[in-house]
Amino acid sequence: MNKKDSPTSSIKKPWPTKRAMEQVYAMKLWGTNPADFYSGEGSHQPEIVAPYLKAVKAFLKSFKTPLVVCDLGCGDFNVGKELVAHTKKYSAVDIVPDLIAHNKEKFTAEHLEFHCLDLAVDHLPAGDLAIVRQVLQHLSNAEIQSILPKLSNFKYVLLTEHLPEGHFIPNTDIISGQGTRLKKGSGVDLLAAPFHFKMKSAQPLTSVTLKEGKGVIVTTLYTVF
């Protein structure tokens, strides 16, 4: 049997994201701190993190019955750790095995779980709210499209994206990895082509303009159904 006729030749190759993100943390491409893992300034700078936490905590506290939350792309958990207490159950997901193992040792709570999963490939934990914080900005359009049907299973989606300031052409495609669409003057807009994400409403929660023309970090709450 030649290579062309091999029964494995038609099997879809996995997305390159896992290897790329493992490299990000191994080579500390997003910076360093005393810890073994560091998810970058967007997860640590007070001027970015503080308004986000204030808004998200207020949303979570608005429910009489706490929500079941899935943090999809939890990173080093510097942000997520502040939200756990306001939830019924918190499932934190990331694609890097060593990062998840580290988080399991460092962060513990009775209703907190960590899972090593590929958002584009694997089945995701069920929940009321999906938190997707500065994750899609690193992914190709094809990979985002593979994730969106899974987000439709959540009643709420809390999406944070690093966008250019002012008008921009949305969803210019990139190769999944450490970079974003900013270098192409673009950013992720789930409501625009080619995604056209179906939802009932979209509510802006926070917007933080960065210094030196480095764009704006926008958090939007989508009510899906």
Q: State how many domains the chain has.
A: 1
Sign of CA dihedral 29, 31, 35, 41: negative
pLDDT at 194: 98
Q: Model-level pTM?
A: 0.90
Comparing 101 with 39, the larger pLDDT belongs to: 101
Q: What is the CATH number of the domain that holds 31?
A: 3.40.50.150
Residues 129/72, Cβ–Cβ less than 8 Å: no
User: What range does the domain containing 69 cover?
Assistant: 3-223
CB atoms closer than 10 angstroms to residue 105: 8
pLDDT at 14: 55
Classify 59 as helix, strand or coil: helix
At 21, the pLDDT band (50, 70, 90 cuts) reads confident
**Both tokens of residue 129?**
């709210």
Helix/strand/coil (H/E/C) assignment for every residue in 161-181: EEECCCCCCCCCCCCCCCCCH
- Of residues 86, 153, 83, 161, the one with CA closest to residue 124: 153
Determine which helix (DSSP H) or strand (DSSP E) holds 148, and give its type and residue range.
Answer: helix 141-151
pLDDT at 130: 99
For residue 15, give the amino acid letter.
W
5 pLDDT higher than 60: no
Classify 81 as helix, strand or coil: helix
Task: Report the distance separating Cα 96 and Cα 107, nearest Å.
Answer: 16
Burial category of 95 from C-beta neighbours within 10 Å (exposed 0-12, middle 13-18, buried 19 and up): buried
pLDDT digits (tens, 9 = 90+) for 38-77: 888 889 999 999 999 999 999 999 999 999 999 999 999 9
pLDDT digits (tens, 9 = 90+) for 141-200: 999 999 999 999 999 999 999 999 999 999 999 999 888 999 999 999 999 999 999 999
